[in-house]
Structure 1
Amino acid sequence: MQFIINHSSMEPIYEQIMGQIRSGIAKGTMKEGDALPSVRALAKDLKVSALTVKKAYDGLEQEGFIMTVHGKGSFVTCSGQDIYLEERRREVEEELAAAVRKGRSCGMEQEELLELFQMVLEEP
């Protein structure tokens, strides 16, 4: 997996690493049992501190996305994938609910909202 770090982003580097690994698991490009690069190797490749990569790996392990075996490395465990996908669905649901509330506050009726939603779904 190729990691891309945006050093000018306001998002901390360890969170960027975590997000890319979560995304890889969710998309299926990283599968259960896949080995992650060692902390030192990834830190060297990304030109960041090993502590930054360690923080990302520790966070992913706490969330259930990876497992670290001392002396062997870190490996993908898909036990966190379902939790991640459910969390993302909940975020989408909350954003849709907010959009409906905003539309209703502007006087839009259900039919209008459904029509608008259908138009948005059809956009590429």
Structure 2
Amino acid sequence: MKIIISNASSDPIYMQIINQIRQCILSGELKAGEILPSIRQLAKDLQVSVITTKRVYEELEKEKLIDSVVGKGCFVSGANKDFIREQRMKLLEEKMIEIIRESKELSMNQQDLIDHITLFFEEEQNT
């Protein structure tokens, strides 16, 4: 898991970290049961306050994306697969809307877009 903090971003640092960890979980990069760095280690790695990383983990726990086990650490939650799937579907839908808007700017019609998606889908299956 690689987290990049941008000082140019309008989002606060803790939100940048939350968004990136959330994305890693929802994309499947971080698997259910996988241990996360300790609050102190994450703070050290990212050169941020321990208070910031504590807030990050608290927010992710509220979203039920991670579980905290006293004395053991924080782990990617495996309890709510339907919720994670729903969140991943939401991200996919947002990407599709972006693709549709971009295709309209390129004066592509619906069938052109479907043809392109079909082509890429078939190419991806063959790899």
Question: TM-score with structure 1 length normalisation?
Answer: 0.69
How many angstroms does 1:43 deviate by? 0.7
2-structure distance, mates of 1:81, 1:11:
28
**Unaligned stretches of 5+ in structure 2?**
121-127
Structure 1 residues 29 and 116: CA distance shift in structure 2, 3 A: closer
- Counterpart of 2:77? 77
Aligned counterparts, 1:9-28, within 5 A:
9-28=9-28
Aligned residue for 1:79, secondary structure, equals coil
The structural deviation recorded for 1:68 is: 0.7
Q: Is 1:25–1:81's contact at 8 Å kept on the other side of the alignment?
A: no
State the Cα distance separating 1:119 from its structure 2 match: 4.4
- What's 1:2 paired with? 2
**Which residue number corresponds to residue 111 of structure 2?**
114
Q: Structure 1: give runs of 5+ residues left out of the alignment.
A: 104-111
Structure 2 CA distance for aligned equivalents of residues 96 and 30 of structure 1: 23
What percent identity do the matched residue pairs reach? 41
How much has 1:85 moved relative to structure 2?
3.6
Give the number of aligned pairs. Answer: 116
- Residues 1:97 and 1:39: Cα distance change in structure 2 (over 3 Å): closer
Structure number with bigger Rg = 1
- 1:47-62, aligned counterparts within 5 Å? 47-62=47-62
Please give the TM-score of this superposition, normalised by the length of structure 2: 0.68
How far apart, CA to CA, are the structure 1 residues paired with 2:27 and 2:96?
Answer: 23
- Worse-superposed segment, 56-65 or 75-84: 75-84
Gap change, CA 1:14 and 1:82, over 3 Å in 2: farther
Secondary structure of 2:79's counterpart equals helix
Residues 71-102 of structure 1: per-residue CA shift (max 9 Å, x gap) = 221111133454244234346547867969xx
The residue type paired with residue 73 of structure 1 is: G
Relative to structure 1, the CA distance from residue 19 to residue 82 in structure 2 (aligned partners, 3 Å threshold; closer, same or farther) is: farther
Query: Contact between 1:39 and 1:50, CA under 8 Å: does it hold in 2?
Result: yes
My pick for the range that moved more, 53-62 or 90-99, is: 90-99
